[in-house]
Structure 1
Amino acid sequence: MEHFPERLKSARKMKGWSLQDLADGMANAVTKQALNKYEAGVMKPSGEVLLQLAKALEVPPAYFMRPSSIQLPAVEFRKKAALSAKHIESIKEKVKHFLERYLEVEALLNIKSAFHNPVRNIPVSQPADVDNVVEKIIAKWDLGYDAIPNVIEMLEDKGIRVMEIDAPDEFDGLSACVGNIPVVVLNNAYTVERKRFTALHELGHLLLNIQQGADKEKICHAFAGAMLLPGNCLETLIGKKRTNIAPGELVSIKEQFGISVQAIMMRALHKGIINKSAAVRFWQSMAKNKKESGLGAYPGKEKSYRFDHLVFRLAAEDIVSMSKAASLAGIKLAAFREKLDAFEE
């Protein structure tokens, strides 16, 4: 039970609960005062209480026994002011819990991967600098100029761990390097287009050598747009100079490339295809429809498959027990068996 106090606090924060919330979640079978003593390490729970805690906090009992192997560096939240302290702590703990499981799975399979940043030595001072950087990334990563079918899968292929979490609308995403492992975290509730853009925005934070004093967020926004519509792709689609762009044109590009119509217009502005006054008129017209309801959708999916594949491999090759594999997958044993044995009725 050496690690129990720390793990109990982590599991509670992951749920976004206070000590009283946890007591309430256990129908006050354990008091707030007792829970406080558990977290302080001055009192230990019985086996029965441990099981009740695991059920209330939706973690396997073994979670409380493992040492915490992940330390997150300082991470920046773009909309920190809109997120409560509980939400911020919950997001951090969810990231740590996922990474612990991911790295354990890779260790069990003896998988070692190294991440290489192909543009670390190129200074970036303003949004106009990103096109040159994107050209080098496309060449190094052999991405081509067509739409990226699955941005999340592409990132994982390049050695970046990607996770999606349930989070408030105020949370867009975050990125961090845990040791030498780059991590991108996305809001599971967002549209496909927003996930794609946010994933690449966070990639910008990981890759770009942004100079001191530069506007990081504007630069990373421009980077995401350039990754989704690289090079002269947009000029090929709509021309080099326009005074106006019809909504139908934007929707068509959105459906083909998986980028929002608002981000397309920003890209058009950066490329000098339209002027600022035309862009402002467009954004004013979109003011009441930021979520772009009724304006098409990218037909593809944004999903990470790698982690699931690795856990299935562990179970299929009997490297770990079925219950251990389910625990690593973060789902109940029955649900894991059903997913693994897809051919069985």
Structure 2
Amino acid sequence: MNHKQVTFVREFRGISQTALAKSIEGLSQSNLSNFEKGLSTLSEDLKQKVVDKLQFPKGFFELKINISIENKHYRKKATIRKAIVDKFENFCKILGYVVDEMSEYVEWPAFRLQPLNVEEGYTPRYIANYTRKLLRLNKSEPVANIITLLEQSGIIVYELAEDEKFDGVSFITDKGFAIIVINKNFSNDRKRFTLAHELGHILMHNEFNFPISSYRDEKWKEKEANEFAGEFLMPEEAIVNSLRNLKISDLMVLKNYWLTSMSSIIRRAFELGLINKDRYTYFAIEMSRRGYNKQEPGIVYIDNPVCFKNGYLLLKNELNYDVEDFIEIFALPKDVITDIYSFVPTLKALN
């Protein structure tokens, strides 16, 4: 039994060390704590009781899942309980593990984008425009089918329906597959920006490609990912003239064309120096007065992720796998298999 997997599953189930220890006769919290740290062992009887209590197949506890959820963006992170964060991030790790296991049967699209090292002088703006060239996007056109472009480029997009807790995360699986998880419940323009933001992380901040200096902390990387997203979705060369002398009445037209939010268009004008701070503040006040800071008018288009779903359908329809087959192959319990393939799951369903 891999002691790290016990911590992994316990946190996924939302059970504290104290609660788990109290529920198992003969197991103390200190013994469980030492076991999870790798400092002691448990009897075979206690191990089996832990397995039974956590309701995961025994084989899952023998795995080594080393996926790291480095790039993540939460809404009002300070107010989110650690247990919620642990559950969400462990769900993402299970998703990554499932993608890796499915790769034995499914040929995922090859990664065909080019990571570039910002520490070697490549700016987020340059990387964004270089990526647009790789994707053969016209300089003056919006990124219309953003999810399709990403999935065809070897990035699996997965939607998870949740409240305001998170925007999105990106990570690389143990076998090297890139995944972006986004919040299904957010507006399409917000999902599009999140996808571009997370793409920036994958291309600039993946330590599998090059080492990231310690001074480039989370705040720094978030700023770079936002710069990338702004240029990727709204290239300066193409949008700059439209943002001169920007007025509130211009925002809907620009939103409909670039498929981005009004607020991101205002922010883009400020970033490019086309409006000053006073004008930016005016726009913020006016957006709030009209209620646009809570819900903007207009719905922009976004396509749907299909890569992961198609992989599932291949196993289900062409190889005739049922739930019991998935349980055996992945060493995951039925509730997790059902949730991860539910299209679209919620964290609440994982309680």
TM-score if structure 2 supplies the norm length? 0.71
Contact 1:161/1:184 (8 A) holds in 2: yes
- 1:80-120 deviation line (CA, Å, top 9, x unaligned): 53433212221221111001111111122355734542534
Q: Counterpart amino acid of 2:184?
A: N
Q: Give the Cα separation in 2 of the matches to 1:290 and 1:267.
A: 17
Percent of aligned positions that are identical: 21
Contact 1:38/1:44 (8 A) holds in 2: no
Query: Relative to structure 1, is the Cα distance of residues 96 and 318 closer, same or farther in structure 2, using a 3 angstrom cutoff?
Result: same
Query: Relative to structure 1, is the Cα distance of residues 193 and 69 closer, same or farther in structure 2, using a 3 angstrom cutoff?
Result: farther
- 1:56-101 deviation line (CA, Å, top 9, x unaligned): xxxxx54754633421336255555343321222122111100111
1:290, CA displacement in angstroms? 6.5
Q: Give the equivalent residue in structure 2 for 1:94.
A: 91
SS at match of 1:172: strand
Q: Give the Cα separation in 2 of the matches to 1:166 and 1:311.
A: 19
Matched, 1:207 2:203: yes
Q: Give the Cα separation in 1 of the matches to 2:156 and 2:222.
A: 21
Query: Relative to structure 1, is the Cα distance of residues 260 and 68 closer, same or farther in structure 2, using a 3 angstrom cutoff?
Result: farther
- 1:299-344 deviation line (CA, Å, top 9, x unaligned): 334x3210110111122222744533588795549x98xxxxxxxx
Matched, 1:84 2:85: no
Q: Give the equivalent residue in structure 1 for 2:310.
A: 309
Matches within 5 A, 1:109-188: 109=106, 111=108, 113-114=110-111, 116-120=113-117, 123=120, 129-144=123-138, 145-166=140-161, 169-179=164-174, 180-188=176-184
Q: Counterpart amino acid of 1:298?
A: V
Where does structure 1 lack aligned partners over 5 or more consecutive residues? 55-60, 337-345
- 1:25-70 deviation line (CA, Å, top 9, x unaligned): xxx9x558769688954314479x84x753xxxxxx5475463342
What RMSD over aligned residues (CA atoms) do the two structures have, in Å?
A: 3.9
Query: Relative to structure 1, is the Cα distance of residues 34 and 213 closer, same or farther in structure 2, using a 3 angstrom cutoff?
Result: closer
Q: Give the equivalent residue in structure 2 for 1:12.
A: 10
Q: Which has the higher contact order (CA 8 A, sep 6+)?
A: 2
Q: Counterpart amino acid of 2:159?
A: E
Pick aligned residue for 1:230 from 231, 235, 246: 235
- 1:192-238 deviation line (CA, Å, top 9, x unaligned): 221211121122222237985694323321221221122433246x3
Q: Give the Cα separation in 2 of the matches to 1:31 and 1:296.
A: 54
Query: Relative to structure 1, is the Cα distance of residues 266 and 33 closer, same or farther in structure 2, using a 3 angstrom cutoff?
Result: farther
TM-score if structure 1 supplies the norm length? 0.72
SS at match of 2:299: coil
SS at match of 2:104: helix
Q: Give the equivalent residue in structure 2 for 1:197.
A: 193
Q: Give the equivalent residue in structure 2 for 1:340.
A: none
Pick aligned residue for 1:245 from 234, 244, 247: 247
Q: Give the Cα separation in 2 of the matches to 1:35 and 1:96.
A: 28
Q: Give the equivalent residue in structure 1 for 2:262.
A: 261
Query: Relative to structure 1, is the Cα distance of residues 46 and 278 closer, same or farther in structure 2, using a 3 angstrom cutoff?
Result: closer
Pick aligned residue for 1:300 from 299, 302, 307: 302
Query: Relative to structure 1, is the Cα distance of residues 134 and 33 closer, same or farther in structure 2, using a 3 angstrom cutoff?
Result: same
Where does structure 2 lack aligned partners over 5 or more consecutive residues? 36-41, 206-211, 343-351
Q: Give the Cα separation in 1 of the matches to 2:137 and 2:58.
A: 40
